[in-house]
Structure 1
Amino acid sequence: MQDVVLTLSETAQAAGFQLVHLAEVGSTNAEALARGAAGETQPTWVVADRQTAGKGRWGRSWTGFDGNLFATLLLTDPAPAARIAELCFVSALALDDALLTLAPDLESRFKVKWPNDALLDGAKVSGTLIEATTRGATTQVAIGIGVNVAHHPGDMPYPTQSLNGAGIAVDRDQVFAALSRSMVTALAIWRRGQGFNAIRAGWLARAHNLGGPMVAKSGDRRIEGVFVGLDAEGRLLLDTPDGREMITVGEVVPALAGTVH
């Protein structure tokens, strides 16, 4: 494969985004937020060749694995506070679009799982962690995206996969260049939350197990039902024997067919 230099797409450059490329960092999210605290307000991608203290949701480790994508986008006041969580769905669509430009045959194999994971052939290939901090009237958001490009962990409580392991011949730099382009488009569609209906529709079109049985774990609750969609605020909708449940925070896994009635 021809070598590709890590770079922002022309679309991202034209939109005023900038790139910080580091050989190694503890966490790209922490680095991005630190730069924001130091006064950076320009939309900034922080990409590291290696991450030594990264984390996903629920504090799970997301480190090591040279050749994978460790990237965080720092945004300043991207939307009203109530809309910030929608960036999970925005970033999921941006990644989907990026991968499909590189490998169009992925369309039937790549799905999104509520609220922020991407699945390839049913196994996790990417995760997103949204973190925000507010100082005075300014809110800065770090959209951390990790993609298993060359490698995937084997000690996780769920199936994992990498792009290369699934036969997708792309490298980290190609994935990032495509993502930096598609993120500009996704953010423009979202329009600080005003276009969330379009984002929601696009996400549902790619949703894993829509219409199928699902288990949601929220706090101490285990909720079984049929995954019927998202509401206008991005909450997961499950139809259960006791009625419709709206899940705001939690994790979901497909249930065995026939276990939900």
Structure 2
Amino acid sequence: MVSLGERALAAGYGLRHVPSIGSTSATLMQDALDGATGPVWLVADEQVDGKGRRGRFWHSPPGNLYASMLLSDPAPSEKVAQLSFVLALALRDAVCQIAEAQGVAGLDVELKWPNDLMINGKKCAGLLLEGGMKGQSRFVVIGMGVNLAFHPDKSNHPASNFAAFGLNTSPAHFFAFLSDAVARRIDQWARGSQFDQIRADWLAHAYRMGEVMRINANAESYEARLEGVDPTGGLIVDHMGRQRIVTAGEIFNL
């Protein structure tokens, strides 16, 4: 049975678990527009209309974790995008806790800008932020798809799953760790006032930082060296000796 971890429960997070749904994020977006407030999680055993970045279909049969969280007025509008880093770190925290508990060593668990969890260079989870307004109040929905038991055969990045690396966990087992990690990281973030701490932790585990990658952003595609993350969460790159800030886009291995 899917349930919140002790820390998340004590912090007042809510949870709804359903066997099947179109999309956890789309459902929470509509709930928020209808007046629902967070923090609340929606977890589904399967999604029949899951979406990834840029509206891509996300194959979501039973066995993996499909979860979205609604937050009401989580931070000033200019800081909301930082939640990508907060939630990505929480994902990594949960993975590392389970690996340690199970004695699984040799895993390189990294975070790829802006929103992917990588294990030994393979994408194992992604998250997507969506936001809206209800009257004068802002809300944010963060959706997560975590490859626990299997992964897509075809994807834009090499993919894998937890089981392939010896991590034996179910959606219910992993979610308890994840919900606690999210509650802790959101407290640390403090509505954006402590993003410097989050950014430092994220950079300590950043995928391919310092290396040359392909950048796809704003209808451009170019090669650049990854140099860091600025105080707003933008990716700092060196493109032909000139610093650029990427605020939206994707990065790919050469």
Q: TM-score, normalised by structure 2?
A: 0.95
228 and 148 in structure 1: CA distance in 2 versus 1, 3 angstrom threshold? same
Which of 97-106 and 49-58 deviates more? 97-106
Kindly tell me the number of residue pairs found equivalent between the two proteins: 251
d(CA) in 2 for partners of 1:251 and 1:45? Answer: 27
1:64 CA drift (Å): 2.4
Partner of 1:142: 141
Name 2:29's counterpart in structure 1: 33
The answer for the alignment partner of 1:45 in structure 2 is 41
- Secondary structure, in 3 states, of the residue corresponding to 1:168? coil
Deviation at 1:223, TM superposition (A): 2.6
- 117 and 107 in structure 1: CA distance in 2 versus 1, 3 angstrom threshold: farther
Encode CA deviations 1:141-197: one digit per residue, 9 max, x unaligned.
Answer: 101011000110102132110101222111111111101000011001111110110
Which letter maps to 1:15? A
Displacement, 1:242? 3.8
Judge which range, 192-201 or 216-225, deviates more.
Answer: 216-225
Deviation track 1:177-221 (CA, whole Å, cap 9, x = no partner) reads 101000011001111110110110011011011111122111221
TM-score by length of 1: 0.93
- Equivalent residues of 1:8, 1:19 under 8 A apart: yes
For 1:154, the aligned partner's letter is D
The aligned residue for residue 97 of structure 1 is 93
* Cα RMSD after superposing both structures: 1.3
- Alignment-derived partner of residue 199 in structure 2: 200
1:84 and 2:80 matched: yes
One-letter amino acid matched to 1:53: D
Which of 51, 56, 60 matches 1:60?
Answer: 56
Deviations 1:100-150 (A, max 9, x none): 111134674111000001111111100001000112211111010110001
CA distance in 1, matches of 2:240, 2:63: 46
Q: Provide the rounded CA distance (Å) in 2 between the counterparts of 1:217 and 1:231.
A: 18
Aligned residue type for 1:49: D
Give me the identity figure in percent: 38
Task: Please give the secondary structure, in 1, of the residue aligned with 2:165.
Answer: coil
Is the 8 Å Cα contact of residues 32 and 73 (structure 1) preserved in structure 2? yes
Q: In structure 2, how many angstroms separate the alpha carbons of the residues matched to 1:136 and 1:34?
A: 14
Structure 2 Cα separation of the partners of residues 122 and 65 of structure 1:
24
Per the alignment, residue 215 of structure 1 pairs with 214
The one-letter amino acid paired with 1:240 is H
Give SS of 1:150's match: coil
* Equivalence for 2:122: 123
Matched, 1:241 2:240: yes
C-alpha separation in 2, matches of 1:80 and 1:18: 23
CA distance in 1, matches of 2:218, 2:184: 35
Match of 1:175 in 2: 174
